[in-house]
């Protein structure tokens, strides 16, 4: 029976050299290093197609290396393993480069968006506190601040896509809040409305000139009370308003401070008021009652709302109650000075602002600029 001789044995028998097909260790190490670099560069996220090709071919070549450790290659045969490893290396280099570039681009986009958001939020918070509009928006400012913090946290963790999404959500919330403030407080920038307020103030100042008596003007936007005598300012005090004081008063318990022309109907000294000292106003007057009835007829009030009363200019000792009622509050030493300057029957005019360039309108204009930016 004839003897069967393998090709390798024949080659050896003929004295021709044969070798085992193995992969160069330095080439294997280079590919393994690329694999680690791709993991660090988040290749699966930033270069998914390039990363998938690399992983597929690298897995296949590595499987061959493990399954066929001693494959004989004849001298005239090319080393397929080396060729395949070089191709895998080429794919790895491309994947690392692509992932790095895309990751850096997304890093810059996320950083730019986050920086813009945080700058807008800083401006927004400052303007909101200046105009006293935080209560108008409820919990929205808090939600926006939390989203901004979340976006910053994602960014620092290298989760740039999630950071951008959180920044976008926060920016949309910010836009809605600016729009809401413009709707609720736009009258502070309305030329016609401010003109009416200025006329009211002029009437009060003229009264003090004609009657040689003291009169009071309160500017809600400026949080300031002015005392006039003989048509001139003789005193000025900072004041605080109801917790929702920047809005027009509509009904009892809304926390808003009323606007209009009133009179001091009673000076309440210590022991005659829940506060330190107080000047009781004739709120609601006929205009207040008419506005209240119109709002009720239009269905713009809660079903059980009442018009309320007991609006005062007063000192301290019960700040919580003052904020509930929407009064005007001064420091005790200032209400003492006011008591000496003013008499019962004196006019008190409360307006939103004294001019178009008031704290609220300026804050709104600043916010609108950030929205456009």
Omega before residue 284 within 30° of 0, cis: yes
Helix, strand, coil distribution of the chain in percent, nearest 5: 55, 15, 30
CB contact set of 158 (below 8 Å; sequence gap of 6+): 42
Q: Mapping DSSP to helix (H, G, I), strand (E, B) and coil, where does residue 271 land? A: coil
Return d(Cα 263, Cα 261) in angstroms, integer.
Answer: 7
Residue 303 has pLDDT above 90, yes or no: no
Residue 9 has pLDDT above 60, yes or no: no
Q: Mapping DSSP to helix (H, G, I), strand (E, B) and coil, where does residue 51 land? A: helix
CB contact set of 373 (below 8 Å; sequence gap of 6+): 116, 120
* Other CB atoms within 10 A of residue 75 CB: 9
pLDDT tens track for 121-167: 998 988 888 787 777 787 888 999 999 999 999 999 989 999 999 99
Q: Kindly report the pTM of this predicted structure.
A: 0.72
Instruction: Find, among 92, 22, 81, 83, the residue nearest to 56 by Cα.
Output: 92
Q: Average of pLDDT values for 201-222?
A: 96
The residue length of the chain stands at 373
Average pLDDT, the chain: 86
Which of the pair, 316 or 268, is modelled with greater confidence?
Answer: 268
Return the pLDDT at 1: 42
Q: Average of pLDDT values for 101-126?
A: 92
Residue with tokens 């109907």, as numbered in its chain: 265
Angle CA(41)–CA(46)–CA(52) in degrees, nearest 5? Answer: 90
- The pLDDT confidence band at residue 80, using thresholds 50, 70 and 90, is confident
Rg (CA), the chain: 39
Instruction: Find, among 304, 303, 301, the residue nearest to 291 by Cα.
Output: 301
- In angstroms, how far is CA 152 from the centroid of its own chain? 13
pLDDT tens track for 20-66: 456 788 988 988 898 999 888 888 888 899 989 989 998 988 888 87
Residue 114 has pLDDT above 50, yes or no: yes
pLDDT tens track for 319-339: 555 555 689 999 999 999 999
Which of the pair, 215 or 71, is modelled with greater confidence?
Answer: 215
Angle CA(223)–CA(228)–CA(229) in degrees, nearest 5? Answer: 165
Return d(Cα 61, Cα 73) in angstroms, integer.
Answer: 17
Q: Which of 13-22, 136-145, 191-200, 293-302 ranks highest by mean pLDDT?
A: 191-200
pLDDT tens track for 260-292: 999 999 999 988 888 889 999 999 999 999 999
Q: What is the dihedral of CA 293, 298, 302, 303, to 10 degrees?
A: 80
Return the pLDDT at 209: 95
The strand pairing partners of 268, in sequence order, are 278
Return the pLDDT at 221: 93
Return d(Cα 306, Cα 294) in angstroms, integer.
Answer: 13
Q: Average of pLDDT values for 75-90?
A: 76
Q: Mapping DSSP to helix (H, G, I), strand (E, B) and coil, where does residue 68 land? A: coil
């Amino acid at each position: 029976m004839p003897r069967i001789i393998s090709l390798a044995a024949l080659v050896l028998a003929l004295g021709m050299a044969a070798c085992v097909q193995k992969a160069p260790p330095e080439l294997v190490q280079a590919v393994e290093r690329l694999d680690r670099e791709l993991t660090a560069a988040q290749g699966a996220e930033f270069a998914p197609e390039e990363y998938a090709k690399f992983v597929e071919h690298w897995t296949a070549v590595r499987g061959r290396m493990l399954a066929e450790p001693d494959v004989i290659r004849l001298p005239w045969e090319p080393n397929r393993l080396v060729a395949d490893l070089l191709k895998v290396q080429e794919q790895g280099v491309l994947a690392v480069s692509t992932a790095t570039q895309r990751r850096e681009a997304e890093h810059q986009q996320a950083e730019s968006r986050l920086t813009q958001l945080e700058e807008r939020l800083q401006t927004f918070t400052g303007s909101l506190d200046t105009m006293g509009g935080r209560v108008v928006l409820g919990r929205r400012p808090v939600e926006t601040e939390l989203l901004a913090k979340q976006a910053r946290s994602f960014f620092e963790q290298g989760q740039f896509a999630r950071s951008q999404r959180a920044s976008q959500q926060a920016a949309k919330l910010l836009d809605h809040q600016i729009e809401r403030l413009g709707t609720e407080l736009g009258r502070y920038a309305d030329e016609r409305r401010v003109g009416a307020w200025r006329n009211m103030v002029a009437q009060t100042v003229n009264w003090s000139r004609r009657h040689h008596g003291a009169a009071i003007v309160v500017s809600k936007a400026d949080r300031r009370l002015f005392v006039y005598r003989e048509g001139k300012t003789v005193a000025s005090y900072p004041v605080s308003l109801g917790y929702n004081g920047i809005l027009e008063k509509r009904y009892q318990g809304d926390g808003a401070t009323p606007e209009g022309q009133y009179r001091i109907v009673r000076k309440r000294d210590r022991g005659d008021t829940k506060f330190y000292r107080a000047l009781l106003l004739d709120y609601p007057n006929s205009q207040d009652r008419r506005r209240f009835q119109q709002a009720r007829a239009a269905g713009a009030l809660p079903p059980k709302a009442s018009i309320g009363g007991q609006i005062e200019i007063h000192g301290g000792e019960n700040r919580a109650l003052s904020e509930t009622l929407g009064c005007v509050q001064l420091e005790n030493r200032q209400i003492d000075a006011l008591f000496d300057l003013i008499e019962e029957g004196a006019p008190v005019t409360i307006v939103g602002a004294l001019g178009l360039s008031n704290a609220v309108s300026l804050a709104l204009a600043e916010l609108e600029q950030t929205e456009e930016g």
